[in-house]
Every structure is written in C-alpha cells, then in structure tokens.
C-alpha cells in the first residue's frame, strides 16, 4: 500500500467514524442539545438521505476538476461539518451540520475509491479499492469504540473533535500528495447515460438488496443475538468487535481475490455465504454458533462493497466516480430501508424474522448477481458494458 492509498483510506476512517459514532452517544447529545434521543436519531436519517440524494450527481457536476481538487474540497466541507456538529447549539443546527457532513462524505468517498482504482495497475485495482474501503472497516472496529469511550469520559464534543483531527491529517496528506487523475471530458448527457443502462441498473438493484440484508443484521444485532444465544451486552459488544476484526481481515486479503478471480465471482460467493449465515442468526444456535455466523457475516459482507465498486469502475472507465457515487447512494437507501423493515419486524414478528428476512434479501441479491454474471459471460467480447460512445 503506497502513501497515496494510505491517505485516501484515512479519509474513509474519518467519514466512517463520524457516521457511526452518533449511535453510541445519543443520550449525551440529547441532553446537551435539550432534546430527545429520538430527535438526535433523526440526524442519522438526515445524513443518509442527504448522502443518497447528492452522491450520484457530485462526480458529474465537478467532472472537469481533478480527483485531488474534488477530494480536498470535499474534506474541507467534511471538516467544517464535523466541527459544527461538535458545537451545535440546538437540534436544528445539529441537523444542518450533519447535512454538511453528508455532502463532504458523498463527494469524498466516490473520488477516493475512483482515484484508488485509477492510480493502481490493472492487477492491483481490487486490492486498492479494498484498502481504501478498509478505512471504513477500521473505523467500525477501532475508531467508533474509541470515540464512544472518549465521548463518555470527556463529552461528546471530544469524539467529534477526534474525527476532525483525523480529517485534518487527511487534508494535509491530500494537499501534499500527487493525485492528478482527472475524469475524461464529456457532455452531461454522456455522463448520465451509464446510469440508465440495464447492466448498471442491475448492479444498483443488487447493491440495494445486499444493503437491506447487511444493515438489517448490523442495526438489530443486539435483539438478534439475544434471541439466538441469550446474549447480554458484553456478548453483543464482543460480537461487534469480532465483526469489525473480520471486516478488516477480509479487506486486507479480499482485494487480491478480486484481482485474481474477478469482482462478480467474489460478490456471488460472498452473498451466498451471507444468505446462509444470516438466517442462522434467527435460530437458537447458541453462543459458539452465533459467533461463527457473525464471523462469516463479517468476512463476506464487507467485501461486497469494494468488489462492486471495482466492477462499476470498469463499466465506466472515463469517470468511475459517477457510478461509484450512485452505488453508494444505493447503499444508503438500502441501509435506510433495512433499518425501517427491521423496526417493523421487531415490533410485529420478533427478532428471528429479522434474520430470516435478511437471509431472503441476501438470496435475492445472489440471484441478481448470478444473472449479471450469466449476461456478462454471453456478452460478445469487446461489447461495451454501459453503452457509452466515444466523445
């Protein structure tokens, strides 16, 4: 991993930590802002929907700028939003700050992943995408727990300021690194065209289904494990730590698998494992069984994202950030849908149905992926995937 990939990944650590740390600090933020925990929880939706609505269009609107310029601008916006989040004076200013953070995150994530793919040799693109994406896994495994502990000990503002510090270091790295990749010049019509093609829409559908499955389990891990293994808070914390460690491990080695066997093959294997592991969490499988299922879920679920981004980058080589941004929007929409479906199921049917529903969504995503793989195999060699034409 070269220094450029390191700083691109460090920005992902900051964005992932900032997105997730609110969950561990809800009561304290609510007390400080004089509102309810539910109101603070809405800020997660504000961030997710702002991200989902803007991510596909930012790479298109700023396609004439270099990746480095866009990434620097995005990190400045992100840094401003995080600092405003730390010093918000009421819930509405907090919402506004989270929306600013979402804009910065949406702009940075697509550019960072696209840049990593573009600056890497053909046989290392999967590894580069995985290393950058691993920043989010590291934030989940280490950054969020550390931030939450600091927030509880010294106040929630310290947790946000820690994120701001990581973002500032990333910004310095971006300023001094050489990252001059620029999207190919083309019209807005040509930039939008790949988003309306059948292969790309199929990948977006896959991402949506996969994200529903992934985030149902991740959001409702506590009630799922409580039913599957009579888990207490300590066991859930241990399971989440195991999940984070498995995320990091899969990212560390998964990039090589992508480069060796191809994105679609890796995706298909991962979602097939998920479609088996997630329903098991809805059965009384005991402590050992639960940890095995969580480990399998962590090892495979986190590898789907970089695999899909590499696939989309090859579909639209003139500006891969366009499709990566759209794909990240599909992830956010899937996360929001998964959380909502899980809440309905938890209220009406019980935690076991959450796991079964997640398994069904994973199976549907596997079917979608299999269909894409079959179409790709029968496609004539050299035929354009996205239907792009030369400018």
**Looking at residue 232, what is its pLDDT?**
72
How many CB atoms sit inside 10 A of residue 205's CB?
A: 17
Secondary structure class of 384 (helix, strand, coil): coil
DSSP 8-state symbol, 64: T
Write out the DSSP string of 92-151: HHHHHHHHHHHHHHHHHHHHHHHHHHHHS-GGGHHHHHHHHHHHHHHIIIIIHHHHHHHH
349 pLDDT tier (thresholds 50, 70, 90): confident
Alpha-carbon distance of 371 to 364, in angstroms, equals: 11
24 pLDDT tier (thresholds 50, 70, 90): low
Q: Specify the DSSP element, H or E, that contains 358.
A: helix 351-378
162 pLDDT tier (thresholds 50, 70, 90): confident
Alpha-carbon distance of 69 to 73, in angstroms, equals: 6
**Looking at residue 388, what is its pLDDT?**
39
pLDDT in tens, 112-128: 877 777 777 766 766 67
């Amino acid at each position: 991993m070269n220094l450029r990939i390191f700083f691109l990944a460090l920005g992902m650590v900051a964005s992932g930590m900032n997105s997730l740390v609110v969950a561990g600090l809800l009561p304290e933020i609510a007390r400080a802002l004089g509102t309810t925990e539910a109101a603070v929880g809405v800020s997660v939706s504000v961030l997710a929907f702002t991200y989902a609505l803007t991510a596909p269009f930012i790479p298109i609107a700023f396609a004439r700028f270099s990746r480095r310029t866009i990434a620097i601008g995005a990190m400045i916006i992100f840094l401003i939003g995080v600092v405003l989040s730390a010093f918000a004076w009421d819930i509405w200013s907090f919402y506004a700050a989270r929306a600013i953070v979402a804009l910065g995150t949406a702009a940075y994530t697509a550019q960072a992943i696209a840049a990593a793919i573009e600056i890497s040799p053909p046989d290392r693109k999967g590894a580069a995408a995985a290393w950058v994406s691993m920043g989010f896994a590291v934030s989940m495994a280490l950054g969020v727990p550390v931030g939450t502990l600091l927030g509880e000990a010294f106040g929630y503002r310290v947790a946000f300021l820690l994120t701001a510090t990581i973002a500032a270091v990333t910004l310095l790295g971006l300023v001094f690194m050489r990252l001059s990749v620029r999207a190919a010049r083309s019209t807005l019509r040509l930039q939008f065209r790949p988003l309306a093609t059948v292969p790309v829409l199929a990948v977006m559908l896959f991402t949506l289904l996969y994200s529903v499955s992934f985030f149902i389990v991740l959001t409702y891990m506590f009630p799922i494990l409580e039913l599957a293994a009579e888990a207490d808070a300590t066991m859930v914390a241990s399971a989440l730590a195991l999940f984070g460690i498995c995320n990091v491990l899969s990212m560390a080695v998964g990039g090589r698998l992508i480069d060796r066997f191809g994105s679609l093959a890796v995706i298909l294997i991962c979602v097939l494992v998920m479609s088996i592991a997630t329903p098991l969490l809805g059965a009384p499988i005991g402590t050992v069984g639960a940890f095995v299922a969580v480990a399998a879920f962590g090892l495979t679920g986190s590898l789907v994202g970089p695999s899909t981004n590499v696939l989309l980058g090859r579909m639209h080589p003139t500006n891969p950030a366009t499709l990566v941004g759209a794909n990240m929007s599909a992830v956010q929409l899937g996360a929001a849908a998964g959380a909502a479906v899980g809440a309905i199921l938890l209220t009406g049917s019980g935690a076991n149905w959450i796991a079964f529903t997640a398994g069904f969504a994973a199976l549907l995503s596997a079917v979608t992926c299999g269909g894409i793989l079959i179409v790709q195999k029968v496609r004539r060699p050299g035929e354009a995937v996205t239907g792009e034409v030369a400018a």
